[in-house]
Amino acid sequence: DMIPDDEMVITISHQGYIKRTPLTEYRTQGRGGVGSRGAISKEDDFTEHLFVATSHNYLLIFTENGKVYWIKVWALPEGSKASKGRAIQNVINIEPGDKVRAVINVKDLGDEDYINNNYLIMVTRNGTIKKTRLEAYSRPRQNGINAITINEGDSLLNVNLTNGDNHIIMAVNSGRAIHFHESDVRPMGRTAAGVRGIYLDPKTEFVVGMVCVAREDTSLLVVSEKGYGKRSLVSEYRITRRGGKGVKAMNVTDKTGKLVAIKEVLDTDHLMIINKSGITIRFEVEKVRVMGRATQGVRLIKLNEEDEISSVAKIEQIEGSEDEQIEGSEDKEINEEGDS
């Protein structure tokens, strides 16, 4: 390999544009990390996945239909911090109509110890969970392979890389969430469909998100369609057995609307809230105080009567890069209960 193993910042936008930028380009600017305004293009696109990887790392790209594709970091299109990048389907051979659901940055697929002691956890919309050793995905193929068998009417929702010792939380649109230890899910083969992660009513319920957390002192933010949300410690969600009903994560009412997202958050995080009307609102996590799990939640953003939140994304930032102040963001804490 004649290509130097340089550190690159990989960014993938909400609308599916991907690029790599030398890390030095971020460092020399001194401020305005990736969360800065410059990274958000005029078409309301924004950076949804961001991480630092070296040129010889592989990215594993997982799609809704359960396929996985490999690409070396150096093979990604290179662009400046402000450039848009290229549509991901022009970079890998994604089938028409399929959609990227997760991108996993892996170090050395030739390192036996690494690939046998790390796992991929996958969750589907219909509540199935699967855990497979990274080793099963360590032999790249040009056109991708099946990462998981997806049953009819289901789709892959999320994938996480873990060390085998994480806590898993799955949340459902009806306001329930289940918390169990990763050891509750035994490793299965690559083409297996998985096991039940949470019990659902198939007519009305579906999974809206999954988080894998390494520690119990982190906090979880749940967000509903009508702009309500709640932030609680992971430890507030008692551990139960995999496959059960879980506990109430938020009181879902006509006023709040259904749950649409669950995210692991820190005070320093910023979120992008995307509305069905196409409006994208930037939001600072530190404005939401940590509350008990059984509370109703607070209004995070005001929506027009007909509007709803369609998705929530965490804006990833590079550690150590100072994000500039967002203009017009007041530093008041959000704690209005219910109507305001």
Residue 327 falls inside a structural domain: no
Residue 134 falls inside a structural domain: yes
pLDDT, tens digit (0-9, with 9 covering 90-100), for 66-107: 999 999 999 999 998 888 899 988 898 888 888 889 999 998
Residue 320 falls inside a structural domain: no
Residue 137 falls inside a structural domain: yes
Segment of 24-33, 39-48, 79-88, 111-120 carrying the highest mean pLDDT: 111-120
| Token code pair at residue 243 | 């496959």
Q: How many domains are there within the chain?
A: 1
Strands, sheet with 119-124, edge to edge from the N-terminal-most edge strand: 156-162, 119-124, 128-133, 195-196
What's the confidence (pLDDT) of residue 325?
32
What's the confidence (pLDDT) of residue 43?
56
Residue 310 falls inside a structural domain: yes
**CA-CA distance, 222 to 177, in Å (whole number)?**
10
Q: Report residue 128: phi and psi, to 5°.
A: -85, 145
pLDDT band for 65, please (50, 70, 90 cuts). very high
Residue 270 has pLDDT above 50, yes or no: yes
pLDDT band for 316, please (50, 70, 90 cuts). low
Q: What is the pTM of this model?
A: 0.85
Residue 126 falls inside a structural domain: yes
Of 150 and 81, more confident: 150
Residue 321 has pLDDT above 50, yes or no: no
Q: What is the domain-level CATH number for residue 296?
A: 2.120.10.90
The total of other beta-carbon atoms located within 10 Å of residue 312's CB is 22
Q: Where are the beta strands (DSSP E) in 1-116?
A: 7-13, 17-22, 47-54, 58-63, 67-72, 86-87, 100-106
Residue 39 falls inside a structural domain: yes
pLDDT, tens digit (0-9, with 9 covering 90-100), for 242-265: 999 999 999 999 999 999 999 999
Residue 39 has pLDDT above 60, yes or no: no
What's the confidence (pLDDT) of residue 44?
65
Residue 304 has pLDDT above 90, yes or no: no
The answer to whether residues 13 and 84 touch, using CB atoms and an 8 Å cutoff, is: yes
Residue 43 falls inside a structural domain: yes
Residue 311 has pLDDT above 50, yes or no: yes
**Structural domain for 106, as ranges:** 7-315
